[in-house]
Amino acid sequence: MVGGVMFDFSGTLMRVESAEQALRGVLGSSGPKMDDAEFTACAGRLEAMGAIPGGAPPREVPAHVAALWRDREDLSAEFHRACYTGLARAAGLPDPALADALYDRSSLPVAWRPYPDAEKTLHALRERGIRLAVVSNIGWDPRPVLKFHGLDRYFDVLILSYEVGVEKPDPRIFQAACDELGLPPADVLMVGDDRQADTGAAALGCRVHLVDHLPVDLRPDSLARVLDLI
């Protein structure tokens, strides 16, 4: 019997804005002036570089960032920032200072949108007495984002890689969440979008439900299907 559900954060509960939206947000009215062609090209390079935390991964990691990427950048807030600002600078920004501005924006509530079925699914699970956790590979604190969007109240536990020093798919991060939930792994379901990282929970005996890391508008009900698994 399932008594608890662990959710990944990015790409599962919420989706970060696109590189184009992020770039437009940091340029505002006082940033470097770019014509439409320059803006589109720069946003495309940022997307290709995977420079927006929580967005698509890099198509190719630049050599000078490879060590940070390889050495688990989600285990340290400092390394996480260094990795993603390095990726952004490699995209050829008109002003290198925009790299830090883009990184800072990525942790703001305005940069994130919940999937359409997130809140109703969490509410229904809590109504059934299911204990809930967020288990995320992340280098910054998503609690303010969850609070802004009204989702924090549903969670009993948050296990974040940069806080606990362990990343998915390492079974220890899932065990930490099960321990905090007070449930054996066999009674806990893991819901995530990463076929490698999130399936690590299966090594403990947890059931796993995978969703697709799609734009919010293209994934209306993948989380709601969790209710059928309980």
Task: List, for residues 140-186, the tens digit of each pLDDT value.
Answer: 999 999 999 999 999 999 999 999 999 999 999 999 999 999 999 99
Give the SS3 label for residue 150: coil
How distant, in Å, are the alpha carbons of 27, 44, 80, 133 from that of 91?
15, 9, 17, 35
> Range(s) for CATH 3.40.50.1000 in the chain?
4-15+111-229
Residues 6+ apart with CB under 8 A from 122: 132, 151, 154
> Residue 66 has which token pair?
């490879």
167 neighbors 75 (Cβ within 8 angstroms): yes
114: β partners: 14
> Residue 196 has which token pair?
């490698």
| Cβ atoms within 10 Å, residue 229 | 11
192: β partners: 210
pLDDT number for residue 204:
96
How distant, in Å, are the alpha carbons of 33, 49, 80, 125 from that of 195?
40, 21, 21, 24
pLDDT tens track for 31-62: 678 889 999 999 999 999 999 998 888 988 88
Q: Where are the alpha helices (DSSP H) in 4-97?
A: 19-27, 36-49, 63-70, 77-89
Residues 6+ apart with CB under 8 A from 47: 18, 19, 20, 55, 56
What's the rounded Cα separation, in Å, for the pair 178 and 51?
Answer: 32
Superfamily holding 4-15+111-229: HAD superfamily/HAD-like (3.40.50.1000)
pTM of the model: 0.91
* Gyration radius from the chain CA atoms: 18
pLDDT number for residue 62:
84
> Using CA of residue 82, residue 85, residue 90, residue 96, what is the dihedral sign?
negative
Q: Picking from 63-77, 79-93, 108-122, 191-205, which range would have the lowest pLDDT averaged per residue?
A: 63-77
Question: How, if at all, do strands 112-114 and 14-16 pair?
Answer: antiparallel
Q: Which of 122, 135, 125 is nearest to 164 (CA)?
A: 135
> Using CA of residue 187, residue 223, residue 215, residue 160, what is the dihedral sign?
negative
